[in-house]
Amino acid sequence: MATPQVGMKKRQVIANSNRTMFVWIALASAIVGVCLVVGYFMVQQIMFRGRVAARAEETATILRKNNESAKLLIENVRVLGTDSALNSIKARPDDRALQVVLDALPADLNTLALGSSLQQKLIGETAGVKIESLTLEGASTEATTGEATEGLGTIPFMLTASSADANALKDMLLRLERSIRTVDIDTMSLEKTDNKYTLTMTAHAYYQLGKTVQLKDKVEKP
């Protein structure tokens, strides 16, 4: 029969073994936890570097396409600069041929320029026609929104002109039709009195907002 001291020693050995086993299990668990955390961050870094590499390749592809498009654009602009048809209808002899394109479809809301052109050129130079009233309104609501910048904006105006000769008003309409700047007539009415004809119409001209090309920074967060 074992003595009490031998039993106590056995229990002490078992307790020490249990403590040692607990320490090793805790240490192993801590090591596994650290490895999992380190592995998680390593996977995140690998995925982050992959996204950065993909963005860099996408940017490089876009830049290559833009360079090719720029070469084609420069060549087209050079050809337009020597176009005889454009050179023949320049407003001023010193203007470049491309100025005709900007005159036909301005890149901004130039209401004052349109009013001046109507008063001094398109209508004002028509013999026998008198401008009774000319009202230019703001750009159409659709044209001022961000979604419409890709399309055309319109500048509405109302015109009342009179003449003793109906043919003079016809000549005025022909001048509007032949104008390099497109003018669409929405409504028109003609009234005749004893000594003159009065033409009233609502119409609109067009413009297209210029485009800005610029490089931007995009941050790819890890």
CB 169 within 8 A of CB 199: yes
Give me the DSSP letters along 57-112: HHHHHHHHHHHHHHHHHHHHHHHHHT-HHHHHT-SSTTS-THHHHHHHS-SS--HH
- Note the pLDDT of residue 211: 75
Per-residue pLDDT of the chain (222 residues; tens, 9 = 90+): 555 565 666 677 777 777 788 778 888 888 888 888 888 888 888 888 888 888 888 888 888 888 888 888 888 888 877 877 777 777 777 877 777 777 788 888 888 888 888 888 888 888 899 999 999 876 554 444 334 445 688 899 999 999 999 999 999 999 888 888 888 999 999 999 888 999 999 999 998 887 777 777 777 776
- Note the pLDDT of residue 144: 40
- Note the pLDDT of residue 106: 85
